[in-house]
Structure 1
C-alpha cells in the first residue's frame, strides 16, 4: 500500500488490524530503543530486560510447566528456551493489545500518519543495528583470525557453528566485504530518498545471515529473523512500485516525500537533531568496534610465546615418558594462543589454561580455568624453533622439550591467494 493510496483510500479492516499488531509487537520487541543511547537512562534497558525475564520465567513455570531451572544468560546465545518464551509472551501481549485497540478505535479510517512513524522507528532501529554489526566486521573482531586451537582440531570435530565461524574468520577480505554491505544498508536507511534501496539491501543481507544461522545452527536465529522482518515492513510502502518495476514491467512512479511537519523551524531543528544523533551513534559504535578490534580482533597484539609447541621429550622426575596414546599424564602439545592457552594430552583432550608470561625472568605460569590450584610454574628458554621448559608441578620435576609451530606452517594459512590456477588445488 503506497502513501498516495493511504491519503485517499480508507484502509481495509484487516489492514488496520495487521498494522496495530505489527506496531505493538515492534514496540514490545525493540523498546527501549532509542532511549538506551541516552547515557542518563541506561538503566532503563536493564529494567525492561528484567521485566521480560520475570514474565518469561513465570510463563515457563505456569504455562509450559517447565520445572528445571532455565539459564538466565545464554553466554551469547539468543536462542535459549527463555528467548523463545519471550517471543511467545510478546506475541500474546501484542494480540491482546491489538484486540483492545481494535475495540476502542474501530471507527478510525486509517493510520497513515502513525504508519509513517512506525516506518521511521523501524528504519532507525534496523539502520543502527546494521551499522553496529557491520563496523564489527569492517574492523574485524566478530570474526577474527583462526585460533591456534582451530588449526590443530580435527576437521570432523568442528561444530557446524565453528565451521562457519572459521569460514568467515579465515578471510579478512570477505569479512570486511560483508561488513561494508551491512554498513551501506544502514546508511541508506537513515535517509528517506534512499530508504527503498537500503531496505532491499538490508533484506538481502539479513536473509543471508538468517539462512546461515539456520544452516549452521548459529544461535542468533530469532534476532536475525526480526531484523529481516523489519526490512520487509520498511519496504511495504514501496511494494506496488517494486512489483511494477521488477515483475509487471510497468512504470514505477516516484513516491512523494512528505515532511513530518509543515513548520519550517521544526524541520530545521529536526534535521539538526538527526545529524547530531546519527553522528553520536555512529561514533559510539565505531569506538566500540575499534576497541574490540584492537583488544580481541585482528589488531590484538600477540603474546610473547604465541605458537603451537609439539612435545619432543617429556621427562618427569628424570624418567622419559614415551608418547603412548593411552598415557593420561604426558603432554602432546602446548598451545599459547592470543587470549588463552591449553595443554593437549596424548588422547587429544585439551586442558584450558590461563597464562602469565614474564619475558625478563623467562617464567611461564599456566593455571587451569576449572581448578585454580592446578598450576604449572615453568622456566623456559628458546633456541631457534626449539622451546625448553622445566619446573615443578605437584612435587614432580618436569623437563619438557618442544618444537614450535606457527600458523604460517599450516597449508590453510600459507596457501594464499592465486589469480592463476592451472589446476584446482582442492585438498
Structure 2
C-alpha cells in the first residue's frame, strides 16, 4: 500500500483488509473534519458528536454495565471515560464494516486511488492540528506564566501534569522551539512534495508529546496517540523509499506526483480553494492567539494587589496568634494572583477565595467560593513597606500585618541564564 507503487495491479489479502479497517476507523475518528471548518459546519459536527455520545453512553450501560453518571465534558481532558468508550465503539463498527466490505468487495485487486485520497484527508487533518498546537506555542499561550501559587508550592505537592506544565511555563524559548517543530510538520504536510518530511517530523514530534502525556499523566493521550498513528499511516505511503534510503542503502527514486485532474482550470480552482481554506484556518488563529497573548502579558491587567504577602502579625479577636505550624487558625500568607486568590494557613493548606478589591476605598473582600456568606471584609493601607489589613470575619475581628514578598527572591526567578558555569548550579 504505497504511493510509490501506484502502478501495482494487485494487493494481497492482508493489505486489502488492513486498508479497509484503517480507512473506516480513521474516517469515524476524524469526521466531520473538514466540514467543521466551513460556515454552518458546526451544526453537522454537533449532530455527529451527539450520535457518538449517545452510542457511547448506550455501550457504557448495556455492554460494560457502568452505573455511575459519566461526565460529558472533560473541561480540557480528552481522556474521559466517554472518549475511550467512543474509540471502542468506533473500533467495533470499523471491524464490522471491514468484514462486510471484505466480503462484498473481495474481487477488487487494489485501492490505489482511494488510498491516495485517504492520505490527502489524513494530511490536512494532522496539519491543521499541528498548526493549531504550534501557533499557541510559538505565541506562548498554551502554557501561561508561572503563577504565584506555583512559586510557593513544593515539588512534592505538585501533580505530575503540574510539574510538566511548570517546566514548559518557565521557558518561552523552549516552548516556542517545540511550537516551531509542530508548525513546521504541519506546513510540510499541506503539500504533496513535502509530505514525507512533514509526516516524519510530525511523527517524531507527536511521539515525544505522547510519551510526555503518558509519563506525566496529561489527559491528551488519545489525541496524541492518534496523531502519531496517522503520521505513521502517511509515512507508510512512502515505506519503500524510506527503507531503501535509511536501511538498504539503495536508491530511493522520486515519487511520481500525479495531478488530481487533467483539466487545468479545475487544478487552478483547486489551488485557489486550498489557499483560501488554509488562510481561513490559520489567520484567525494567529490573530486570536496574539490578542490573548498581548492581554495576558499586559501588567495593567493584573489585580491591584497582585503579589505574595507574608503575614508578620496576626491578631484574632484581640489576641496575637503566634506563628506555630500546628495552628490551624493563623494565616501564613495571602496570595493574590492574576485569576485566583488564596489564604495559606500555617500548615500550608490553601483556601481559594473570590477577591473583590476597591483601590479607591481601600477595601478588600475575600469570599468563599462555596458559601458566599463567609466573607472576610478588610480595609487596608500600606505604610513603610508593610501592608496593614483590619476587618471582620462574621463576628470575629482580624488585624493583620503583612510584608509583600519580592518575587526576585525566588531562585527560579533570579537565577537567569549563564553561558559559563564553572560548576553545575543544580539546586
Q: TM-score, normalised by structure 1?
A: 0.96
CA contact (8 A) 2:4 2:241 kept: no
The equivalent residue for 1:342 is 342
Tell me the CA shift for residue 295 of structure 1: 4.6
- Does the aligned pair in 1 maintain the 2:139–2:293 contact within 8 Å? yes
Matched residue, 1:367: 367
- Residue 266 of structure 2 corresponds to 266
Cα 1:405–1:370 shift into 2, 3 Å? same
Q: Measure how far apart 1:325 and its partner are.
A: 2.1
Report 1:61-140 matches (<5 A): 61-140=61-140
Confirm or deny: 8 A CA contact 1:353 1:369 kept in the other structure. yes
Task: State which drifts further: 164-173 or 7-16.
Answer: 7-16
1:6-405 matches, cutoff 5 A: 6-296=6-296, 301-383=301-383, 385-405=385-405
Distance 2:35 2:114 in 1: 19
Aligned to 1:413: 413
Report if the CA contact (8 A) 2:381-2:387 is conserved: yes
Matched residues, number? 427
List runs of 5+ in structure 1 lacking aligned partners.
none
Contact kept in structure 2, 1:123 and 1:190, CA below 8 Å: yes
The change in CA–CA distance for 1:60 and 1:173 in structure 2 (over 3 A counts) is: same
Flag the 1:227–1:406 CA change in 2: closer, same or farther, 3 A.
farther
SS of residue in 1 equivalent to 2:262? coil
Provide the C-alpha distance between the structure 1 equivalents of 2:142 and 2:298, rounded to a whole number of angstroms. 10
CA distance, structure 1, for counterparts of residue 129 and residue 241 of structure 2: 27
Structure 2 unmatched ranges of 5 or more: none
CA distance in 2, matches of 1:119, 1:322: 69
Tell me the distance in 1 between the aligned counterparts of 2:303 and 2:81.
Answer: 38
Helix, strand or coil at the partner of 1:360:
coil
The answer as to whether partners of 2:376 and 2:391 remain within 8 angstroms in 1 is yes
Matched residue of 1:206: which SS? Answer: helix
On the 8 A contact 1:294/1:300 being kept in 2, the answer is no
| Bigger mean CA offset, 53-62 vs 205-214 | 53-62
Deviation at residue 296 of structure 1 after TM alignment: 5.0
- Relative to the length of structure 2, the TM-score reads 0.96
* SS state at 2:90 partner: helix
Q: Structure 1, residues 247-292: CA drift from partner, whole Å, max 9, x if none?
A: 1111111101111111111100000000000001001221332244
**Residues 128-183 of structure 1: CA deviation (Å, up to 9, x unaligned):** 00111111111112111111111111221111111111111111110111011111
Shift of 1:297: 6.8
Q: Deviations over 1:42-89 (max 9, x none)?
A: 122222222111111111111111112222222222112221111110
| Matched-pair contact (CA < 8 Å) for 2:79–2:222 | yes
Shift of 1:380: 1.7
Distance in 1 separating the partners of 2:288 and 2:391: 41
Retained in 1: the 8 A contact 2:323–2:330? yes
**SS at 1:232 equivalent:** helix
Q: CA RMSD in A?
A: 1.6
Task: Point out the more displaced range, 67-76 or 83-92.
Answer: 67-76
Deviates more, 1:390-399 or 1:168-177: 390-399
Change over 3 Å in CA distance of 1:247–1:214 after alignment to 2: same
Describe the shift of the 1:173–1:300 C-alpha distance in structure 2 as closer, same or farther (beyond 3 A).
farther
How far 1:419 moved relative to its partner? 0.2
Partner Cα distance (1:300, 1:53) in 2: 43
Q: How far did residue 19 of structure 1 move?
A: 1.0
What is the distance in 1 between the residues matched to 2:300 and 2:286?
A: 16
Secondary structure of the residue aligned to 1:42 is helix
1:397: how far off?
Answer: 2.1
State how far apart, in whole Å, the 2-side matches of 1:159 and 1:297 are. Answer: 26
Q: 1:298 to 1:63 in 2, by over 3 A?
A: farther
Runs of 4+ in 1 over 4 A off after TM superposition: 295-300
**Distance of 1:384 and 1:86 partners within structure 2:** 61
- Which stretch shifts more, 351-360 or 151-160? 351-360
Deviates more, 1:396-405 or 1:266-275: 396-405
